[in-house]
């Protein structure tokens, strides 16, 4: 392993600015980075996989398609359902890597029950910006030794270290999924239904709201707002919980149930932001908000920009929204103004000229920005790892 890491350690110790790359599935995420490209694709091995222990150790360049196939063969999966955003950036599906998933910290619909990416990263080996190799965490689900550096590096976009090995927790894949579709419901009542379902004993595995204007290619009734509630598990359990949900929500909307390929296709579409991937003319935002405010935030953006296209995931806590291209600032004032100071908004896709004028990531309050700078200085004193990608 040491010999395989030598080129990467040498590249870091050379002290030149580096632009870290993997599968190249998200080339437009973040600000432009001026630096020499350093691809982690040579680090593409699955180091170990212990299905009985629910542990997988792999290098960052391993393709997610390979990992999904490996896990599926043993009836397991990554429960946070990482999205494949290649098509959002005009790239083929299936080019994303484990390193990219962890570096960006993006979770799919399963986050509402299973937790975020960082909750599933147990350990990590990485190269700091001064060339030191460090390890943190390990191959145990509960690790309380020292600082939880894997969580710190998850979502840091490669600015704190060049990951060379990642330990992740895997879980049994549910043998069955069914999606309850509540049609014709929107606004405050849709928010209440989402909250009631997630607060019930039904163990909802994913919860979303799709407005009437969202094109979903026949996956749902046309021009009908819908609340979507997914139940995962064994057949008997899913049937019992579905019946409980039907009793809880009786009379509040027309109900239907999707299962099998229909249910899977619907959630894959939302997970991978396909309604926006199919609209390259739109600037794309991804907002994280308190769930009960999600509907109001999306409505406020639509009121200011009627041609906005969006939906809610995570029970209202995640908003995907596309705005008409051509705005000099991608609507940043409207989008971040709609947050009301509670939440954050990331500009996921926009022309480089727009991103040069707009902070792609939510600006941090002064004290938090100062703390972030001090942390980065400890890991990357010279600021050579993806400099400028996050705006600093």
Strands 36-39 and 18-21: parallel
Strands 55-58 and 162-169: antiparallel
Which token pair is 219? 């996956």
User: How far is the C-alpha of 56 from the C-alpha of 49, rounded, in Å?
Assistant: 4
How distant, in Å, are the alpha carbons of 92, 317, 340 from that of 80? Answer: 22, 15, 28
Q: Is pLDDT of 141 > 80?
A: no
pLDDT by residue (tens digit) across 273-306? Answer: 999 999 999 999 999 999 999 999 999 999 999 9
Q: What is the mean pLDDT of residues 85-114?
A: 97
pLDDT by residue (tens digit) across 108-135? Answer: 999 999 999 999 999 999 999 999 999 9
User: How far is the C-alpha of 387 from the C-alpha of 157, rounded, in Å?
Assistant: 10
Q: What is the mean pLDDT of residues 39-64?
A: 97
| Residue-level pLDDT at 1 | 63
Q: What is the mean pLDDT of residues 174-196?
A: 97
Q: What is the mean pLDDT of residues 29-39?
A: 95
How distant, in Å, are the alpha carbons of 76, 78, 107, 121 from that of 174? Answer: 8, 11, 18, 20
- Answer for the pair 11, 20: CB distance below 8 angstroms, yes or no: no
The upper half-sphere exposure of residue 125, i.e. CA atoms within 13 Å in the direction of its Cβ, equals 15
| Residue-level pLDDT at 297 | 98
| Residue-level pLDDT at 137 | 80
| Residue-level pLDDT at 143 | 46
Which token pair is 300? 């406020």
pLDDT higher at 141 or 35: 35
Angle (deg, nearest 10), helices 294-304 and 332-339: 150
pLDDT by residue (tens digit) across 235-257? Answer: 999 999 999 999 999 999 999 99
Of 183, 234, 225, the residue nearest 205 (C-alpha): 234
Percent of the chain scored above 70 by pLDDT? Answer: 97
- Answer for the pair 330, 283: CB distance below 8 angstroms, yes or no: yes
* Sign of CA pseudo-dihedral 153, 156, 162, 166: positive
| Residue-level pLDDT at 142 | 47
- Structural domains of the chain ordered from first start: 2-172 (3.30.465.10), 176-271 (3.30.70.2190), 274-355 (3.30.70)
| Residue-level pLDDT at 122 | 96
Confidence at 139, pLDDT banded by 50, 70, 90 = low
How distant, in Å, are the alpha carbons of 42, 47, 75, 277 from that of 52? Answer: 28, 16, 11, 37
Q: What is the mean pLDDT of residues 311-332?
A: 98
| Residue-level pLDDT at 334 | 98
User: How far is the C-alpha of 316 from the C-alpha of 196, rounded, in Å?
Assistant: 12
Average pLDDT, the chain: 95
Q: What is the mean pLDDT of residues 37-57?
A: 97
* Sign of CA pseudo-dihedral 333, 337, 339, 343: positive
Size of the chain in residues: 392
pTM for the full predicted model: 0.95
In the sheet that holds 344-349, the strands lie side by side as 254-259, 176-183, 226-233, 206-210, 309-313, 318-324, 282-288, 344-349
**DSSP assignments along 83-142, one per residue:** ---GGGGT--TT--BHHHHHHHT---TTHHHH--GGGTEEEEEEE-TTS-EEEEE-SSS-
Confidence at 148, pLDDT banded by 50, 70, 90 = confident
Confidence at 3, pLDDT banded by 50, 70, 90 = confident
Alpha-carbon Rg for the chain, nearest whole angstrom, is 21
| Residue-level pLDDT at 391 | 87
CA angle 192, 218, 285 (to 5 degrees): 60
Confidence at 147, pLDDT banded by 50, 70, 90 = low
Q: Is pLDDT of 359 > 70?
A: yes
Q: What is the mean pLDDT of residues 79-83?
A: 98
């Amino acid at each position: 392993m040491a010999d395989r890491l030598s080129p990467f350690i040498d590249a870091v110790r050379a002290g030149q600015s580096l632009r870290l790359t993997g599968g190249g599935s998200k080339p437009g995420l973040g600000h432009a980075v001026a630096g020499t490209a350093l691809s982690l694709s040579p680090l593409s091995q699955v180091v170990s996989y212990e299905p009985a222990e629910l542990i997988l150790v792999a290098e960052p360049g391993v393709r997610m398609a390979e990992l999904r196939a490996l896990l599926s063969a043993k009836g397991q999966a990554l429960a946070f359902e990482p999205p494949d955003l290649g098509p959002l950036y005009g790239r083929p599906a299936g080019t994303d890597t484990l390193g990219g998933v962890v570096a960006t910290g993006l979770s799919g619909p399963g986050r509402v029950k299973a937790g975020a990416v960082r909750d599933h990263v147990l350990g990590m080996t990485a190269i700091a910006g001064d060339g030191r190799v460090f390890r943190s965490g390990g191959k145990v689900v509960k690790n309380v030794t020292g600082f939880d550096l894997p969580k710190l590096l998850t979502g840091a976009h490669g600015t704190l270290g060049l990951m060379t090995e990642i330990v992740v927790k895997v879980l049994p894949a549910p043998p069955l999924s069914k999606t309850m579709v509540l049609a014709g419901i929107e606004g405050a009542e849709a928010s209440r239904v989402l909250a009631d379902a997630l607060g019930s004993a039904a163990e909802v595995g994913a919860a979303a709201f799709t407005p009437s204007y969202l094109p979903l290619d026949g996956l749902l009734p046309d021009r009908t707002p819908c609340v979507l509630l997914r139940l995962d598990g064994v057949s008997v359990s899913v049937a019992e919980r579905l019946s409980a949900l039907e009793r809880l929500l009786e009379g509040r909307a027309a109900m239907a149930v999707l299962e099998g390929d229909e249910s899977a296709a619907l959630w894959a579409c939302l997970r991978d932001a396909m309604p926006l991937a199919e609209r390259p003319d739109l600037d794309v935002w991804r907002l994280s908000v308190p769930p009960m405010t999600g509907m109001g935030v999306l409505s406020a953006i639509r009121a200011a920009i009627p041609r906005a296209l969006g939906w809610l995931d995570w029970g209202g806590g995640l908003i995907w929204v596309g705005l008409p291209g051509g705005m000099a600032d991608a609507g940043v004032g409207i989008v971040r103004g709609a947050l009301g100071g509670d939440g954050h908004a990331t500009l996921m896709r926009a022309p480089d000229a727009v991103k040069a004028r707009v902070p792609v990531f939510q600006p941090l309050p002064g004290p938090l920005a100062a703390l972030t700078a001090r942390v980065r200085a400890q890991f990357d004193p010279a600021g050579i790892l993806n400099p400028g990608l996050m705006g600093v």
